[in-house]
């Protein structure tokens, strides 16, 4: 019986010839990730074990959720992470000024490669499947144990095959692809399953599209999302990853629970209404929904290509007088490149505010909290009740084109309207 991409990676890291869905395995890990929220409790569990880290070069600590520190408590959490990194000589510790949003930063600096197993105490660790890795979120307790052993346990997930055909039309992006998929199968449609993307349409997706798509695999309930390696992957890895790696591809007789087919050329810009990512509507069918805020950034859509799309809409236009628009580059590198290309100037001239890299408003942290009754269009990944502020606020999820157009129009709007 053949194996999926995920099964091949897990079998290799478990040291066995093959695995099947439902198997319980102990797997070696290639990288362990933690942030300023999840690492402090992991350190507590780590200290209970009383042994050193298994490899200081295979742990990445990225304070990004509440940093630059928003209050005393967040400062204490960041300090805990910093002191741990210094004590254990963690190579990949990223201080403010040299950091970024973790899931933008790690691929950017070459810490992710095909065929690897990456675990992170953050649910959107599944982002790295875009680079043909098995990547998934874990809890802080498992992170603490893994920092000692270099291993963790998994139940091998069954898989859904998402067959992509065609090419994306103008103004349609990876965010529209994943929101459309979640709208089709629901937020529990891939519960503890691997979402494996395949088909000729894969070649038409940029790396930014793929990172966005895999980032939100968890919003469909997935254990992970994963793409095959191709020329686009290789081009992205060039100059970033120098170590050897072993890409995987699914066997022709791999077993899938089901196949979902998406014709990329038939897609349109969409928006997910409150309070679930599955509440997806075409933007042209959204109706007259006035908004108070727009957020463009996050681990989902904070890359240079995302900012380029937003800048295309904002150029020569103004943010609506009723709206505050917040732009958050995903890393210092993205910020610098956006500045060099003139995007930052475009944003400021349009009436946007530009933030340092941070998760900030995505999780209701800071830099854009919503008051009672306020509505936001956001390129983030979740729109649960109270996610970005008051329990009676509303978050509408979209890609950068729609978010920027909505900021200009003062209501949910498509890019073709401006």
CA separation for the pair 18, 80 (Å, rounded)? 40
- Specify the residue for token string 């998406």: 262
Given a contact cutoff of 8 angstroms between Cβ atoms, the answer to whether 350 and 312 are in contact is: no
C-alpha 2, offset from chain centre = 29
CA separation for the pair 334, 122 (Å, rounded)? 22
As given in the structure block, the two tokens for residue 371 are 């008051």
Q: For residue 223, give the nearest of 214, 231, 232 by alpha carbon.
A: 214
The confidence score (pLDDT) of residue 90 equals: 98
Q: How far is CA 350 from CA 282, 291, 379, in A?
A: 26, 17, 18
pTM, whole model, 2 decimals?
Answer: 0.95
The confidence score (pLDDT) of residue 1 equals: 79
Report strand pairing: 280-282 vs 270-272.
antiparallel
CA separation for the pair 251, 244 (Å, rounded)? 22
Given a contact cutoff of 8 angstroms between Cβ atoms, the answer to whether 29 and 118 are in contact is: yes
For residue 281, give the H/E element and its range: strand 280-282
CA separation for the pair 8, 11 (Å, rounded)? 5
Q: Give the number of C-alpha atoms closer than 13 A to the C-alpha of residue 366, restricted to the C-beta side.
A: 13
Q: Is 19 helix (H, G, I), strand (E, B) or coil?
A: coil
CA separation for the pair 69, 65 (Å, rounded)? 9
CA separation for the pair 63, 260 (Å, rounded)? 37
Q: Is 402 helix (H, G, I), strand (E, B) or coil?
A: helix
The arrangement of strands across the sheet holding 375-378 comes to 280-282, 270-272, 394-397, 375-378, 293-296, 324-327, 353-354
CA-atom Rg of the chain in angstroms: 20
**Cis ω on the peptide bond leading into residue 200 (within 30° of 0)?**
no
Q: At what angle do helices 207-215 and 174-185 cross, to 10 degrees?
A: 30
As given in the structure block, the two tokens for residue 328 are 């958050």
Q: Is 104 helix (H, G, I), strand (E, B) or coil?
A: helix
CA separation for the pair 287, 248 (Å, rounded)? 44
For residue 400, give the H/E element and its range: helix 400-409
As given in the structure block, the two tokens for residue 148 are 């000692």
Report strand pairing: 24-28 vs 224-226.
unpaired
Tens-of-pLDDT digits for all 418 residues of the chain?
Answer: 799 999 999 999 999 999 999 999 999 999 999 999 999 999 999 999 999 999 999 999 999 999 999 999 999 999 999 999 999 999 999 999 999 999 999 999 999 999 999 999 999 999 999 999 999 999 999 999 999 999 999 999 999 999 999 999 999 999 999 999 999 999 999 999 999 999 999 999 999 999 999 999 999 999 999 999 999 999 999 999 999 999 999 999 999 999 999 999 999 999 999 999 999 999 999 999 999 999 999 999 999 999 999 999 999 999 999 999 999 999 999 999 999 999 999 999 999 999 999 999 999 999 999 999 999 999 999 999 999 999 999 999 999 999 999 999 999 999 999 9
DSSP string, 189-220: TTTTEEEEEESGGGGGS-HHHHHHHHHGGGGG
For the chain, which domains are there? 5-263 (3.30.499.10), 272-417 (3.30.499.10)
C-alpha 187, offset from chain centre = 16
How many CB atoms lie under 10 A from the CB of residue 15?
10
C-alpha 325, offset from chain centre = 21
């Amino acid at each position: 019986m053949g194996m999926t991409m995920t099964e091949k990676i897990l079998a290799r890291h478990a040291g066995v010839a093959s695995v099947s869905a439902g198997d319980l395995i102990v797997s070696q890990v290639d990288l362990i990730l933690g942030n300023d929220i999840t690492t402090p409790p992991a350190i507590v569990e780590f200290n209970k074990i009383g042994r050193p880290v298994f490899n200081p070069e295979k742990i990445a600590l990225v304070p990004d959720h509440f940093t630059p520190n928003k209050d005393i408590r967040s400062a204490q959490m960041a300090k805990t992470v910093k002191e741990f990194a210094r004590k254990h000589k963690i190579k990949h510790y990223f201080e403010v000024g040299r950091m970024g949003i973790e899931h933008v930063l790690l691929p950017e600096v070459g810490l992710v490669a095909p065929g690897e197993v990456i675990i992170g105490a953050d649910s959107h660790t599944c982002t790295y499947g875009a680079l043909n890795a098995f990547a998934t979120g874990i809890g802080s307790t498992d992170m603490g144990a893994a920092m000692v052993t270099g291993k963790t346990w998994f139940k091998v997930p069954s898989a859904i095959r998402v067959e992509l055909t065609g090419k994306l039309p103008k103004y349609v992006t990876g965010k529209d692809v994943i929101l459309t998929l979640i709208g089709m199968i629901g937020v529990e449609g891939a519960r503890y399953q691997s979402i494996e993307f395949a088909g000729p349409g894969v070649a038409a997706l940029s790396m930014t599209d793929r990172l966005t798509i895999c980032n939100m695999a968890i919003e469909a309930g997935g254990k992970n999302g994963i793409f095959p390696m191709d020329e686009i992957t290789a081009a992205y890895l060039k100059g970033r990853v120098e170590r050897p790696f072993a890409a995987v591809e699914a066997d022709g007789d791999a077993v899938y629970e089901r196949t979902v087919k998406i014709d990329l050329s038939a897609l349109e810009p969409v928006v997910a209404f409150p309070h679930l990512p599955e509440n997806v509507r075409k933007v042209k069918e959204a109706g007259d929904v006035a908004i108070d805020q727009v957020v463009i950034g996050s681990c989902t859509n904070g890359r240079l290509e995302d900012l380029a799309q937003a800048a295309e809409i904002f150029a020569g236009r103004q943010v609506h007088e009723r709206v505050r628009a917040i732009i958050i580059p995903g890393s210092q590198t993205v910020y610098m490149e956006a500045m060099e290309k003139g995007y930052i100037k475009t944003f400021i001239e349009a009436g946007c505010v530009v933030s340092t890299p941070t998760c900030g408003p995505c999780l209701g942290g800071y830099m854009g909290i919503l008051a009672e009754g306020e509505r936001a269009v956001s390129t983030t990944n979740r729109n649960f009740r109270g996610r970005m502020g008051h329990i009676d606020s509303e978050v509408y999820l979209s890609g950068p084109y729609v978010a920027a157009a909505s900021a200009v129009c003062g209501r949910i709007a498509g890019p073709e309207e401006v």
